Structure 1
Amino acid sequence: MRFIDLFAGIGGFHLGMEQAGHECAGWVEWDKFARKSYQAIHDVKGVWNASDIRTVRSTEIPRADCWCFGFPCQDISVAGKQKGFTAGKRSSLFFTVTGLIRDLEEKDRPSYLLIENVKNLLSINGGFDFLKLQIELDEIGYDVEWDVLDSAQVVPQHRERVFIVGHLRGRSTRKVFPIIKGNQEVDSRPDTTNTLTTRYGEAQGTGSYLVESKPSQVRQIGNTMNTDYFGGNPQPGRVYDPEGISPTLSTMQGGGQEPKIMLEDRGPFASQNQSKWRIRKITPLEAWRLQGFPDWAFTRAQEAGLSDSQLYKQAGNSVTVPVIKAIAEIMELT
């Protein structure tokens, strides 16, 4: 299938879709540093692109089978002011995308929409914002299904995100959720099950995992010696076991907010100093690895002149590549 990559960032959607055998037909990203990384990582020479979704006309966009987008979450995230995606200026860009689809003739509309955002989208404003999202997609002709997936099932990072798949009515698209491994349905999580019904058959949102085995817990090392999951943004001062799962990466931009890990100090003076351990923050490369990017992608971005601050920010803003690949491998026109 051909796909359009909107709010593209550094191309987490692009890489995951491409790894599943799909082809990029165009991309849109406004941040100049993210555009620099995107162009360094991906083969986009001659591929249609734009910098501002607000100035794009529907007639400009190449025809594609799927539009992928993780619209800005600052107005939805628990770390933000939570104005909601209809009132917030940035998250309301969702309606800019649906407006472009409204302007297309039905034959030119994408068969699939693949949408990602923070889990709080399901509950902000008492769930009414998520209902408005479903109504909007229904009005432009899409049946929807959704699921909450945790990146910890495929990478060592605890990152829960809601993934929404829109199916254009009348097209032969394949149902995506729950994600199945082999002949077995993967672990269901009743804590994320919602009861909202959709036109696409039964109620979705079963919260299934991507693999059968459950991740080891995040181990926080410090005065409390706790062992627990830590969702949301990492807090300054928390130190984590390198054998555990990282907390959710944020757009920390290298400002001292990066998760820190404790390592055994095997230097020549370790025993003399009566100090067996040392603490360091994760590197930009490790942040990209936690999002499932191959080292060559990081190297290309770094060699394009991106600062460590920007590389940290870009990792925190990205989707997790193997999660996108797992979804994209199921998507097909039947």
Structure 2
Amino acid sequence: MGQLSFYEFFAGGGMARLGLGDGWRCLFANDLSESKAQSYRANFGGEDLWVGDVHDVAPAMLPGRPDLVWGSFPCQDLSLAGSGKGFGGSRSSAFFGFMAVVTALRAEGRAPRILALENVCGALTARGGRDFEAIGRALSLAGYRFGALVIDAARFLPQSRPRLFIVAMDRAAAPPPELVGDGPEDGLVGPWSPRALLAARAGLDEEVARDWVWWRLPEPRANIPALASLLEDEPSDVRWRSRAETDDLVALMAPLHRARLAALAAGGERRVGTLYRRIRPDGAGGKAQRAEARFDGVAGCLRTPAGGSSRQILLEVEGGALRSRLLSGREAARLMGLPDDYRLPARYNDAYRLAGDGVAVPVVRWLARGLIEPLLDVSAGRRLAG
């Protein structure tokens, strides 16, 4: 059998493409950002890539009939760190441009057999659940049954990064029974269905809910690399901060965090952790900036300043000494599962943003192997009926 085919919308640096792997052939890729498109071209060439607004994509631009269409649509309006406008915002409403493309393909008899959507978990609760309802309704109207899973990249990489994945299947095809569960009662609540997902599902209109599927996905047995193993000794794009700058960070910590840090320093061993600066209630009715560190071997979720958050800071404690610096661009890429031969943008900000806006490569790989490819009946050598 030949390669499976796909379109990659909101492609960024092509992380979904990397996750799908060599068994898949990209027919078309799209992103609005020229800077991200430069990285895509540097790593994959530009033959399949069109740079522009998804609302301007016409069916005539799209070759063939893909097995899969992947869409990691913008999260800024859905993220807790973003605007909170949901689909009322200009960025995340690009989802409807994406669905317009799918609907147009359906009209031409070229609808993809599988759709895969990825976004922040805030999509479950945005505008009181109305945005998740809108996603489900759009999929249902386009002729798909669908289900959702929350997968944390921490199951594969030392980064806490829970994300919502929605997998939709052409309603004309019956999914294999071994890939479908009965709902929370058969144990799906545990690994992939947190409380927020169950609440979002319960809030679906009855008509939309008829197309809901509880997907089964096996749990991974991944050898998660240690955070320290992904760090560069002396990165070229960031510098270690001065003692005074590091002391200023420590001063922003709550007393409990400072006490934990002091205990680690007293131990004498090398420990690495990560830190974010956040705005928290100050206990007196106001708000104050706090520095929150973790030394559990897992980095915090990569974010970009464009999403309303600070950059992540690395802390190293060794022999009683403490030093700090920003995560490097290559370290951020490694935390997303990008290989070291992946060509990053030359500018630090562009490299960090590319990683922070992406989808974790091994998560895509696991979802493809565990659900998407079985839905396409790859193992039996058969394709779904069109």
The alignment's TM-score, normalised by the length of structure 1, stands at: 0.80
Which residue in 2 is equivalent to 1:294? 339
Which residue in 1 is equivalent to 2:350? 310
Which residue in 1 is equivalent to 2:298? 245
- Residue among 258, 265, 286 paired with 1:223: 258
Asked if the contact 2:59/2:104 (under 8 Å) is kept, the reply is yes
Which residue in 2 is equivalent to 1:53? 54
Cα-to-partner distance string for 1:154-206 (whole Å, 9 max, x where unaligned): 0000011100001011135558678xxxxx988465534514374456546x9
Shift of 1:3: 0.6
Change (3 A) 1:100 1:169: same
Shift of 1:107: 2.7
2: CA distance, partners of 1:284 / 1:247: 15
Which residue in 1 is equivalent to 2:89? 88
Asked if the contact 1:189/1:208 (under 8 Å) is kept, the reply is no
- SS state at 1:91 partner: coil
Bigger Rg, which one:
2
Judge which range, 120-129 or 275-284, deviates more.
275-284
Which residue in 2 is equivalent to 1:36? 38
Asked if the contact 1:234/1:248 (under 8 Å) is kept, the reply is no
2: CA distance, partners of 1:16 / 1:212: 15
- SS state at 2:135 partner: helix
2: CA distance, partners of 1:111 / 1:148: 22
Change (3 A) 1:318 1:308: same
Which residue in 2 is equivalent to 1:327? 367
1: CA distance, partners of 2:92 / 2:38: 23
Alignment of 1:146-165 (within 5 A): 146-165=148-167
Which residue in 2 is equivalent to 1:258? 311
Change (3 A) 1:46 1:151: same
In the alignment, does 2:114 pair up with 1:108? no
Change (3 A) 1:187 1:56: closer
Asked if the contact 1:73/1:90 (under 8 Å) is kept, the reply is yes
Q: What amino acid is the match of 1:16? A: G
Shift of 1:49: 2.8
Change (3 A) 1:51 1:177: farther
Q: What amino acid is the match of 2:9? A: L
1: CA distance, partners of 2:69 / 2:96: 14
Q: What amino acid is the match of 1:36? A: Q
- Residue among 279, 287, 294 paired with 2:324: 279
1: CA distance, partners of 2:257 / 2:305: 21
2: CA distance, partners of 1:147 / 1:256: 25
- Residue among 5, 9, 14 paired with 1:11: 14
RMSD: 3.6
The alignment's TM-score, normalised by the length of structure 2, stands at: 0.70
2: CA distance, partners of 1:256 / 1:84: 18
Return structure 1 stretches of 4+ with deviation > 6 angstroms.
Answer: 212-217
- Residue among 163, 171, 195 paired with 1:191: 195
Change (3 A) 1:36 1:234: farther
Change (3 A) 1:212 1:47: closer
Asked if the contact 1:176/1:327 (under 8 Å) is kept, the reply is no
Asked if the contact 2:147/2:213 (under 8 Å) is kept, the reply is no
Unaligned runs of 5+ in 2: 182-186, 228-252, 262-272, 279-289, 378-386
Asked if the contact 1:148/1:192 (under 8 Å) is kept, the reply is no
Asked if the contact 2:124/2:197 (under 8 Å) is kept, the reply is no
1: CA distance, partners of 2:101 / 2:191: 37
Q: Percent identity?
A: 28
- SS state at 1:238 partner: strand
1: CA distance, partners of 2:31 / 2:219: 30
Asked if the contact 1:121/1:130 (under 8 Å) is kept, the reply is yes
Shift of 1:39: 0.8
Cα-to-partner distance string for 1:125-157 (whole Å, 9 max, x where unaligned): 111211111111101101001011111000000
- Alignment: residue pair count: 306
- SS state at 1:170 partner: coil
